[in-house]
Amino acid sequence: MSIHYCEKCMSFFLQTPHTTYVCGIVNGKYLGHIYYGKKLQDQNLRHLMGVKADPAADNINHGDTGIFFDNFPFEYNFDGIGDFRECALDVHTSDGHHGALCEYRSHKIFKGKPKLQDLPATFCNNENECETLEIELFDPVISMTLILSYTVFSDVDAICRHVRVKNEGSRPIFLDCVMSAHLYLPEDSYDVITLHGSWGRERGICRRELPYGISRAYSKRGVSSHQAHPFIAVTSRNASQTSGEVYAMNLVYSGNFIAQTDGLVNDDVIAQIGINPEGFCWKLEYGETFTAPEAVLVYSGEGLGQMTRTFHDLYRNHLIRGKYKDRKRPVLLNHWEATYFDFNTEKLLDIARSASRCGIEMLVMDDGWFGNRFDDHRALGDWVVNEEKLPGGLKYLVSEVNKLGMKFGIWFEPEMVCPDSDLFRAHPDWAIQVPNRENTTLRWQYVLDITRPEVLEYVWASVRAVLKSANIEYVKWDMNRALCNIGSKDLPADRIGEFFHRYVLAVYELQGRLVTEFPNLLLENCSSGGGRFDPGMLYFSPQIWCSDDTDAIERLKIQEGTALIYPLSSIGAHVSVCPNHLTGRSVPFETRGHIAMFGTFGYELDITKLSEEDLQMIPKQVEMYHAYNDLVREGDYYRLASYAENHGFDSYMVVSKDRSKALLTMVAVAYRINHRAYKIRLQGLDPNARYYIPAMECHLTGDALMDAGIFVPTPWAGGDYRSFVWTIERDD
């Protein structure tokens, strides 16, 4: 790890363990991108900048500099100056003029990494773990300072970037677009990968040939969303799990975003990620600074698998925080799919007693415990215990659960209010709304305007009071609808464009208070399942509910897309009842356990109604979780086969950091008659070591397992959806 400035070649070199990033100053003014890729020795690479372009008729030459702005590889480019590519920064002044041109002014290099104001971001555990470069640019016409910040870490091949904009002029300026990262890629044939879906089928991997023009993923729903994801990867055309180049970006943000590529006519490519400029406009008065969210950049020269493991290591070591950062999570049972709204104290205690006998360690009480909440038409916002359902209140229920040796958790949806609620009747103006326009409900609820201090304080006081009332050790924080009809009583007309971002900052403020005042709490975020599964949320909660679709076979695709970026320890995954409540599919109980084990692991069912055969399997699954969770949580993840691609079977493995042990999982989705076996090649082992596979009773070297592969017999013969988890142990 190092950051170095070469005065002779006026270039900045950022070195991670295996990658190099280079940018440089041209004509003493303009910051250009030079190189990002495999690690190089420091040397003069200015010949790669392409300062002089062919003077085509439609290229605008800036004075006598020889720089054509529509071809120059800006490190961070600007709108309104003759660069007609997708811009990273768009600014207009109070008199309506658009445009900026920032020139190099200074830079500094220092150990450590400052916190971002009001935003989640990666961190270093001590200042020797990372180094930061800040490059200051300045536009003398509108007196605007732009600071580009880059951090590299000693233990991971990632570069974390963010941008700050400061108004040093006497008149306000308005930011219409502020990308967190802008990356210029050389001419090549590329694919682009994004993650798409909807409720119940989040983060499906979408790979396509990178086209000329714009290819983008975006959200304008106020959350990162089920439909898209704040991630984009540009790969070489032949890139696989184990080979090829990958340039990836992930945004540490939980609101509206855009992640896009611009395929240029000269076959170069621009990749960008940041806050979605649609509906965004931030007013900066004199002396004020706007901080954009952090973007994580990862380069891999060894395919998608190496990219994945880089993201996993970065997020486990430098983003997830708190008591459970490096700790096994309790095996929980959430009663939602067991009872929905129809429960009381005795029913919950019956479930808890059965769960306790099976080794389950926590009962989570989901929606329906408060106010007049007998269905989802009412009472959100009235965070007072319904003692008709729960006589004696939370204190009695929690103490009885604790007597069973179990922890207790609870569900909230603090950002919402139902029209049929005491809160809304008292404060109808607290809902997000446009004056004189009929408001829109989704799931019979409105969104609270937590950008207003009095609303935020009410939400915080309500949550805090409940958590103080009993020994609650887990919170599931839900958010079940998108934002629309955007209006706020506190924002003047020239600041309405700030609302979406202010809303996200308010969510971060609330969750920051929560984990600060209750440091031993296990927080799990949720948004109708995986609608806000993003790095911003991971900063506050070490795990996020992956999807409301708990069907094990559906989860293969959902968890594959999620694990492309996020560590297995962050993926909320439970065993649910069959036939599944959403799909009607029946999957063997053992298979459901195998798939959920490569996540946080828990149960989402009525344990009192299980068959004796399934009930007896729970203690075995819990025992297996405790035996292997350290490896699942801390090990390196390798994707071997994808059911989403081959429609036959899924396979993945986790290997310990010292490569001494591994877990291999296979799920046969469709049984194949007269098929001898599946052949797979393992990954991540030591090629020179010998390994023992107890299930096969064989000893083989790592290179044989990885290069020659193994035929896996079909122990699931006679039906679909069979699975196994095999241990692999080094024995030399």
Residue 644's pLDDT band, with cuts at 50, 70 and 90, is confident
**Host H or E run for residue 561:** helix 552-563
Among the residues of 432-538, which ranges form H helices? 453-468, 499-517, 535-538
318, 342, 367 - which closes a domain:
318
> Is residue 562, in this structure, part of any structural domain at all?
yes
Q: Cβ distance 706 to 664 under 8 Å?
A: no
Do residues 540 and 659 share a domain? no
Asked whether residue 61 is domain-assigned, the answer is no
Chain mean pLDDT for the chain: 94
For 611-636, the pLDDT digits (tens) are 999 999 999 999 999 999 999 999 99
Contact 704, 689 (CB under 8 A): no
Query: Residue 598: pLDDT band by 50, 70, 90 thresholds?
Result: very high
- The arithmetic mean of pLDDT across residues 37-55, rounded, is 74
Return the biggest CA–CA distance within the chain: 83
For residue range 645-676, list pLDDT tens digits in order. 887 889 999 999 999 999 999 998 887 766 66
Q: Which domain holds residue 413?
A: 332-632
Asked whether residue 3 is assigned to any structural domain, the reply reads no
Q: How confident is the model at residue 269 (pLDDT cuts 50, 70, 90)?
A: very high
> Active site includes 636?
no
Report the pLDDT value the prediction gives residue 41, as an integer from 0 to 100: 84
232 and 342 assigned to the same domain: no
CATH of the domain at 703: 2.60.40.1180
Q: Number of structural domains, the chain?
A: 3
**Residues 618 and 647 occupy one common structural domain:** no
Phi-psi region of 287 (alpha: psi -120 to 50; beta: other; left: phi over 0): left
Catalytic option among 382, 548, 549, 614: 548
Question: Is residue 677 pLDDT above 90, yes or no?
Answer: no
Query: Could you tell me if 589 and 616 lie in one domain?
Result: yes
Burial environment of residue 718 by CB neighbours within 10 A (0 to 12, 13 to 18, 19 or more): exposed
Is 630 assigned a catalytic role? no
Give the end of a domain, one of 567, 599, 632: 632
Q: State whether 307 and 428 are in the same domain.
A: no
Considering the domain architecture, whether residues 405 and 314 belong to the same structural domain is answered as no
- pLDDT for position 66: 67
Beta 204-209 vs 144-153: how paired, if at all?
unpaired
CATH number at residue 163: 2.70.98.60
Q: What pLDDT does 332 receive?
A: 98
Confidence at residue 187, expressed as pLDDT on a 0 to 100 scale: 83
Residue 53 lies in a domain: no
657 and 626 together in one domain: no
- What pLDDT sits at residue 178? 98
Burial category of 436 from C-beta neighbours within 10 Å (exposed 0-12, middle 13-18, buried 19 and up): exposed
Average pLDDT on 687-704 reads 96
Does a structural domain hold residue 12? no
| pLDDT tens sequence across 6-18 | 999 999 999 999 9
**271 pairs with which residues across the strands?**
183, 261
Is residue 257 a part of any domain in this protein? Answer: yes
Q: What is the CATH number of the domain that holds 358?
A: 3.20.20.70
- Which residue among 632, 667, 683 closes a domain? 632
The predicted model scores a pTM of 0.96
pLDDT tens, 50-102? Answer: 654 555 555 665 655 667 888 889 999 999 988 899 999 999 999 999 999 99
178/79 Cα distance (integer angstroms) = 11
Residue 201 vs residues 23, 484, 529: alpha-carbon distances, Å: 40, 23, 10
In this prediction, residue 1 has a pLDDT band, given cuts at 50, 70 and 90, of low
Whether the pLDDT of residue 218 is over 60: the answer is yes
Q: Residues 618, 664: one domain?
A: no
* 580 falls within a domain: yes
Radius of gyration of the chain (CA): 27
pLDDT tens readout for residues 520-539:
999 999 999 999 999 999 99
Assigned domain for 551 exists: yes
- Interacting residues of 282 by C-beta distance below 8 A, sequence separation 6+: 174, 175, 178, 290, 497, 498, 501
| Catalytic one of 313, 382, 478, 551 | 478
Q: Are 480 and 596 members of one domain?
A: yes
Q: What is the tens place of the pLDDT at every residue in 280-313?
A: 999 999 999 999 999 999 999 999 999 999 999 9
Kindly report the backbone phi and psi dihedral angles of residue 294, in degrees, each rounded to the nearest multiple of 5, phi listed first: -80, 140
Residues 475, 498 within the same domain? yes
269/336 same-domain check = no
CA–CA separation, 602 and 547 (whole Å): 14
Tokens of 543: 């795990």
- Tell whether 442 and 495 lie within a shared domain: yes
Region of poorest pLDDT, from 17-21, 60-64, 194-198, 576-580: 60-64
In this prediction, residue 74 carries a pLDDT of 94
